[in-house]
Structure 1
Amino acid sequence: MTLQRSSGILLHPTCLPSEFGIGDLGQAAYNFVDFLVKSGQKFWQVLPLGPTGYEHSPYTMNYSAFAGNPLMISLEKLVDEGLLKSEELKPLETSGESAYNRVDFDAVIPHKYEYLKLAFERFRLTIKDRSNPDLEKFCQEQAWWLDDYVLFMSLLEVHNGQAWNYWNKAIARREPQAIKEQREVLKDLILYHQFLQFKFFEQWKALRNYANEKNIQIIGDVSIYVCHNSADVWASQENFALDPETLEAAWMAGVPPDYFSETGQLWGNPVYNWEHLQTTNYAWWIDRFKATLQYVDIVRIDHFRGFEAFWRIPAGETTGMKGEWIKAPGEDFFRKLGEGLGNLPVLAEDLGIITPEVEELRDRFNFPGMRILMFAFGDDSKNPYLPHNYIPNCVVYPGTHDNDTIIGWWEKASEKEKRSIAEYLGYSQPQEINQINWVFIRMALSSVANLAIIALQDALGLDNRARMNDPSVNAGNWRWRFTDSDLLSQELSDKLLKMNQVYNR
């Protein structure tokens, strides 16, 4: 895939303003699309949209690779449908500055689900005497993943969140009679979870259509791994490297020591049983891409290097240090994926320990790779992240959701890095540099990279308190949000638009 010269903004929907403690798919999302249009952008990049569990990582703690996160459902949109009443909705009290607010999941989850359950009960009354054709159509069209997901979430609820491999053996191992019985016993809960997915994707589809009508494309994200305690692993156990006795992960995913962590990263997800997946012509993965492309325009593949070789860590380890590289069938996989889907609108997150083999795999399928300006100034002039070393078919970011904000990074950067930046840009000393976030944004937009993506935090000039994720720390990530829509000012959109015009984006 070759991109046209353009730019976009990176922002997860949970970061948007909302009275209910977490961003959603309501009016603030539509306002953000309007802001993108006024700013001359062509893309909105989001993180994975799935329902999250422990610590709420959309990459490693997701209950499904196919489902949507019900916490993003707009309550106001449910009011518009008559499923809720505006006078019933009570805002969730939050604290903190408007630019540095945080999602308090412990407060948000019970508060929001109270309204979602009320909306469901009212919806169920409407289908008591006559069916809802839109719901039925959704359930029929998505049955290939939805049926297992809604049963899994219902079972998870009645087991109080206990991991599936500790459930009754017949259910854990998916014996047909046991599964049939549970579908009948839990039919009310199953309908509730069908309703949540129906409303999520109904709202998401409307938002995406609105964006597309205004020439804004959505860049989605496919995390390479899924959580062990997920519908995907429970429903397709043969696709994952599990201990045959305990059904725990026999090998865990992660990466060895790198830029982000001296002890590596232990994600804890089970790695794939690629040998079995090959025998199915990668059916599960192809279905996953098909599902994703129903709702986004371009797919960013997280941890792309794992399709060439992946770091496998033995069960029981507590860091990512003790592992081994295992070859993956990347070339065969992407060829079969192309045969199944045709053109592959894919961006490759080719960060970390990248070998010539990984680059060859990326280039064989013409996937644009990523360049991070924050990585550019620690070495010599051959550093691949320096703008003069870019090729057009790539995506440049000042920093991603895994990095600090530009201002946060600058405050902690070494003197060597600061001097390198000053010298690169023609300043006599670092102290002459003002508004470092805009300096990096300008570098990205002026580069030859076909696509430049700017994290909203950097456009807003926010410091470390607005960091979305620190990969070296498990707790407390994925919570940043802003609560004042006035931050998306006309002045800001004019500045971004002018830069795009100057650099032909």
Structure 2
Amino acid sequence: MEKQKRLERGNGVILPIFSLPSNYGIGTFGEAAYDAVDFLSDAGIKYWQILPLGPTSYGDSPYQSFSSFAGNPYFIDLDILIEEGLLEKEELENLNFGDKARFVDYGIQYNLRYRILEKAYDKAKDSLKKEIVAFRKKEAYWLDDYALFMAIKHEKFDVSWLEWEDDLKNRKKTALNKFKRENKDLIDFYVFIQYEFFSQWQKLKEYANRKEIKIIGDLPIYVALDSVDAWVNSDILQLNPDTKEPIKVGGAPPDAYSQDGQLWGNPLYDWKKLAESDYDFWIKRIGSSLRLYDILRLDHFRGFEAYYSIPAEDDNARFGEWQKGKPYELFDRVRAKFPAACFIAEDLGYITDEVNELKDYYAFPGMNVIQFSFGENFDSDYLPHNYERNSVVYASTHDSDTLMGFLENADDALNELINLYFDLDTEDNKERLWKINRALMASVSDVAVFEFQDFLGFGNDSKINSPATLGINWKWRCLEEDFDDDLAKKIKNMAKLYGRFNHGQA
């Protein structure tokens, strides 16, 4: 099996779409996104890491999506719809998209967006009829089920598919065909939304690629229980065949940070059934993702080698057990189907020799997060002197403190270790932050990635996600003034100095 080629040396930024500026309460694929690409290009940045682009459900997490294939309606830019003649500017006047420029109000998005998109659909179903029909035919392998799933959810007031009547829950043809006949226009509306999402995203991605900026996307290992993936593919999941309720669910065992462990609640795969299907679901899922992104970060990579299995009725993760997957069978199939694909292994947490062997067998680069590296002996693999070239170093991730937040929250003992390692002789955290940024830029890791907040020097009030919390995450946004020319020049000079500069121009 041919190994993956190394990623080109460069630097990257984590900047989710929802974090971009816009006039409509959340980042979109509109003008501000193109301005952000221009900023990345001016700063010499080669990699733009975004979070999953799927439609979000309760809790707003992009890692708990209604679909592994569909796109988030909130990212459709309304100004582009105006340019396409599908909306009138007056239709958006006097609408309140939120009063906090720095934060997304998902309640407002939910209540306003679909009403606005319905107005656009009323015009598009005639003016774009041919284009939408062609799109639907091309994407039928996932789109038909998704549009049907979302239409049923709409009619059922968004309750989980597990609460639908048995004939719909169990996908009885007679019941599904009856619903399709009675709700054709509603189903077509959800098809239109996906047409616009993919049309707008593809143009933005092409613009970034012309400037030689590669898009890093995340592929969550599990699907959400309340998703079209679980509804359509219940046979490859550990679900009760009669009730469709989960038998075992995913999570993480107790550790120093949580005596109860982490109970995620996602249904687990039935690896025997996956193998019998020749991993068809994974092949389609990865193939679809590789059209959205240039590089895929494999979330919870250790779960491919062995996954933590928790009884679904448990209230915590204390009594789970490790079960083996079939990772070599899966990735051999993936490599054969997509020989040029590039992956990053999210190999954080408790990692066994078997997980490292799996990563190295396919030459997937792993992750080093500087915030996880400090102990008394300075022997952590996450410290720069222990990095290998085929790796990606992170100043912070969407699940961690920002780098400034990390420095601000460090106690005296940790600060002493940080200062000793990086030879810091200042108490100015802004200065300390940039010296750490510089050290990561100078490291041998092929790719160095920073949250945009790590360049801005923002603390934890700009944190993207605090795991195990609800209602406060996935909300932080940039302002236009954050994309500063002097900041771009500072990043560019550092990238040039350490061989990470992107020379691409449109």
TM-score range, shorter chain: over 0.9
Asked if the contact 2:25–2:98 (Cα under 8 Å) also holds between the matched residues in 1, the reply is yes
Asked if the contact 1:258–1:352 (Cα under 8 Å) also holds between the matched residues in 2, the reply is no
Q: In the alignment, does 2:501 pair up with 1:498?
A: no
Equivalence for 2:67: 64
1:464 to 460, 463, 473: 460
Asked if the contact 1:261–1:472 (Cα under 8 Å) also holds between the matched residues in 2, the reply is no
**Distance in 2 of aligned mates of 1:187 and 1:151:** 9
What code does the residue aligned with 1:123 have? A
**Distance in 1 of aligned mates of 2:147 and 2:189:** 8
2:77 to 68, 74, 77: 74
The C-alpha deviation readout for 1:221-242, integer Å capped at 9, x for no partner, is 1001111110000011101111
Identify the range of structure 1 (110-119 vs 176-185) with the bigger mean alpha-carbon deviation. Answer: 176-185
Equivalence for 1:168: 165
Count of residue correspondences: 495
Dislocated runs of 4+, deviation >6 Å: none
Equivalence for 1:9: 13
Q: In the alignment, does 2:472 pair up with 1:476?
A: yes
Equivalence for 2:326: 329
Asked if the contact 1:422–1:433 (Cα under 8 Å) also holds between the matched residues in 2, the reply is no
Q: Please report how far the alpha carbon of residue 432 of structure 1 lies from its aligned counterpart in structure 2 after TM superposition.
A: 6.5
Percent sequence identity over aligned pairs = 40
**Distance in 2 of aligned mates of 1:337 and 1:54:** 31
Q: Please report how far the alpha carbon of residue 379 of structure 1 lies from its aligned counterpart in structure 2 after TM superposition.
A: 4.2
2:345 to 331, 336, 348: 348
Equivalence for 1:249: 246
The C-alpha deviation readout for 1:271-310, integer Å capped at 9, x for no partner, is 1111100001100000000001112111111000000001
What code does the residue aligned with 1:71 have? Y
Q: Please report how far the alpha carbon of residue 316 of structure 1 lies from its aligned counterpart in structure 2 after TM superposition.
A: 2.1
Q: Please report how far the alpha carbon of residue 87 of structure 1 lies from its aligned counterpart in structure 2 after TM superposition.
A: 2.5
1:218 alignment partner, SS class: strand
**Distance in 2 of aligned mates of 1:4 and 1:262:** 40
Q: Please report how far the alpha carbon of residue 351 of structure 1 lies from its aligned counterpart in structure 2 after TM superposition.
A: 0.5
The C-alpha deviation readout for 1:313-364, integer Å capped at 9, x for no partner, is 1112222222111101011110111112223311110011100100000010
Equivalence for 2:104: 103
Asked if the contact 2:98–2:108 (Cα under 8 Å) also holds between the matched residues in 1, the reply is no
Q: In the alignment, does 2:370 pair up with 1:373?
A: yes
Identify the range of structure 1 (226-235 vs 419-428) with the bigger mean alpha-carbon deviation. Answer: 419-428
Gaps of 5+ in 2: 501-506
The C-alpha deviation readout for 1:463-497, integer Å capped at 9, x for no partner, is 11100011132332111112x21110001100100
**Distance in 2 of aligned mates of 1:442 and 1:322:** 43
**Distance in 2 of aligned mates of 1:390 and 1:476:** 34
Q: CA RMSD in A?
A: 1.5
Equivalence for 1:407: 404
Identify the range of structure 1 (245-254 vs 7-16) with the bigger mean alpha-carbon deviation. Answer: 245-254
Change in Cα spacing, 1:422 to 1:450, as seen in structure 2 (3 Å) is same
Change in Cα spacing, 1:95 to 1:212, as seen in structure 2 (3 Å) is same
Asked if the contact 2:145–2:228 (Cα under 8 Å) also holds between the matched residues in 1, the reply is yes
**Distance in 2 of aligned mates of 1:438 and 1:318:** 43
Equivalence for 2:50: 46
State the TM-score, normalizing by the size of structure 2: 0.95
Q: Please report how far the alpha carbon of residue 444 of structure 1 lies from its aligned counterpart in structure 2 after TM superposition.
A: 1.4
Change in Cα spacing, 1:180 to 1:94, as seen in structure 2 (3 Å) is closer
Equivalence for 2:127: 126
The C-alpha deviation readout for 1:49-106, integer Å capped at 9, x for no partner, is 00000101111x210000000010000000010001122223535344x5xx211111
Asked if the contact 1:274–1:328 (Cα under 8 Å) also holds between the matched residues in 2, the reply is yes
Asked if the contact 1:16–1:28 (Cα under 8 Å) also holds between the matched residues in 2, the reply is yes
**Distance in 1 of aligned mates of 2:428 and 2:65:** 45
Q: Please report how far the alpha carbon of residue 431 of structure 1 lies from its aligned counterpart in structure 2 after TM superposition.
A: 2.9
Asked if the contact 1:14–1:72 (Cα under 8 Å) also holds between the matched residues in 2, the reply is yes
Identify the range of structure 1 (296-305 vs 162-171) with the bigger mean alpha-carbon deviation. Answer: 162-171
Q: Map residues 410-489 of structure 1 onto 2, 5 A cutoff.
A: 410-427=407-424, 431=427, 434-482=430-478, 484-489=479-484
The C-alpha deviation readout for 1:355-403, integer Å capped at 9, x for no partner, is 0100000010010000001111134221010000000000000110000
What code does the residue aligned with 2:458 have? L
**Distance in 2 of aligned mates of 1:146 and 1:93:** 29
**Distance in 2 of aligned mates of 1:16 and 1:120:** 25
What code does the residue aligned with 2:267 have? P
**Distance in 2 of aligned mates of 1:485 and 1:503:** 28
Asked if the contact 1:265–1:471 (Cα under 8 Å) also holds between the matched residues in 2, the reply is no
Change in Cα spacing, 1:260 to 1:446, as seen in structure 2 (3 Å) is farther
Q: Please report how far the alpha carbon of residue 433 of structure 1 lies from its aligned counterpart in structure 2 after TM superposition.
A: 5.8
Asked if the contact 1:19–1:92 (Cα under 8 Å) also holds between the matched residues in 2, the reply is no
What code does the residue aligned with 1:495 have? K
**Distance in 2 of aligned mates of 1:122 and 1:399:** 44
State the TM-score, normalizing by the size of structure 1: 0.95
Identify the range of structure 1 (250-259 vs 165-174) with the bigger mean alpha-carbon deviation. Answer: 250-259
